[in-house]
A and B are shown apart, each in its own frame.
Chain A
Amino acid sequence: MASIVQDVTFNPELTADAIEKRRNEVRPVDRVVFGVTGLYGLSRGSVKMPLSRTETFDSGQVCLQGDADADPFRSIGIVEFSKRKLKVRYAIQAVFPGLYTLVTSGRFDHSLLNPIRAEATDECSVLPDYKGWRALGCLEFLPGSLWAGAHGG
């Protein structure tokens, strides 16, 4: 690793009073970098999931949750209030209850139950009252499951 030696010159204006004034200064906040935690979601219904080119199964009600195996900094965002813009990326795992029937039927390998991981990135317009946003996003299914390589938004 390369090291950098930085010359920090003495600042004659550095006083306890100056620091205290800096600490108490109230500045308007326009941008906030935030982390995403406690992400959960449920699908409104079951969908047809492919197992191959010709075979599908019913997913059951799909459950989403934040990906506990992902680096927490994979789930992060920034909001810019003056532009009413928000960009967020979050890592998720999806649970498909319909897999239980498949795996217990003995026809399929238990590896189908490996975590189904995905990552979503949304660019959003925050509503004028800041109570919601409209998102245009992308979704990528990550390696590790049969459905890796699926994508959308």
Chain B
Amino acid sequence: MLAENRSVQVAYSTTFLINWPEHLGGDQVKVDFDGTMTLVPLLLGD
């Protein structure tokens, strides 16, 4: 789709591992996300 100069909506499923700053205890947390985003072609090249 992008190569045809057309926008494409993609679904994503991801896990972020976040390190908190020391003043907030410095622990880590994992957060799982599901969502979507739209990729809009701006410039095509060969």
Contact = CB atoms under 8 A, between A and B. Distances in A.
A53 B20 CA distance: 10
Interface stretch (A4-12, A13-21, A23-31, A101-109): A23-31
A114 interface: no
Interface of B: 2-4, 9-10, 12, 14, 16-21, 23-25, 27-46
A152 interface: yes
Contacts, number: 117
A38 B32 contact: no
A47 interface: yes
Contact of B42 (A33, A38, A53, A149): A33
A34 B8 CA distance: 10
B2 A79 contact: yes
| Interface SS of chain A | strand
Given A32-B3, A36-B37, 4 more contacts: A47-B31, A53-B23, A81-B3, A141-B18
Given A152-B18, A153-B16, A54 B35 contact: no
Contacts of B2: 32, 34, 79
Contact of B40 (A29, A34, A44, A150): A34
Given A42-B34, A64-B33, A150-B18, A77 B44 contact: no
Contacts of A152: 16-19, 28
A121 B24 CA distance: 24
Closest A-B pairs by Cβ, 6 of them: A41-B35, A50-B24, A38-B38, A152-B18, A149-B21, A39-B37
